[in-house]
Amino acid sequence: LVSPEMVTSEMTVKLKKPTKPGVTYKAAAAITEVRPPIVVIDGTITTESGELIAQGTAKCAMLDKLGGMASAASSKETEREDGTPLTREACMDGSLSLYVSELQSNSGGSGS
């Protein structure tokens, strides 16, 4: 996880094409920027053939990095609860795209 407590402060979604019943869609998202207290996440929805259906960007606020009454979760600016540094690499360790990639690589080798 990037932060123990995050809220979406802004979200933009651009619908490029209508969806159709019976079609399988693929959703993908990745953390593209980490500037505590802000995290930017970009995502897309495509058809299996790669046709773009929707794209979006979310700006999230790390409540534990805002200070004051926003959160009492952590007072450390550069560390997570387990003491690891809050770097872009540390944030990517918990990103959904990394998790999905690991799932795909694990399932690709086990069922063939």
Is the residue at 49 inside a domain?
yes
Q: Provide block-wise average pLDDT over 10 residues at a time, the chain (112 residues).
A: 76 96 95 91 96 96 69 45 62 56 61 40
Q: Is residue 95 part of a domain?
A: yes
Residue 1 placed within a domain = no
Q: Please report the pLDDT score of residue 36 as a whole number.
A: 87
pLDDT at 98: 54
Number of folded domains that form the chain: 1
Residue 84: per-residue pLDDT: 60
Q: How far apart are CA 99 and CA 87, in angstroms?
A: 18
User: What pLDDT score was predicted for residue 110?
Assistant: 44
Is 16 within a domain?
yes
pLDDT score, position 46: 97
Backbone phi, psi, residue 26, to 5°: -120, 125
Residue pair 39/31 in contact (Cβ under 8 Å)? The answer is yes
- Within 10 Å of residue 13's Cβ, how many Cβ atoms? 11
d(Cα 6, Cα 87) in Å, to the nearest integer? 16
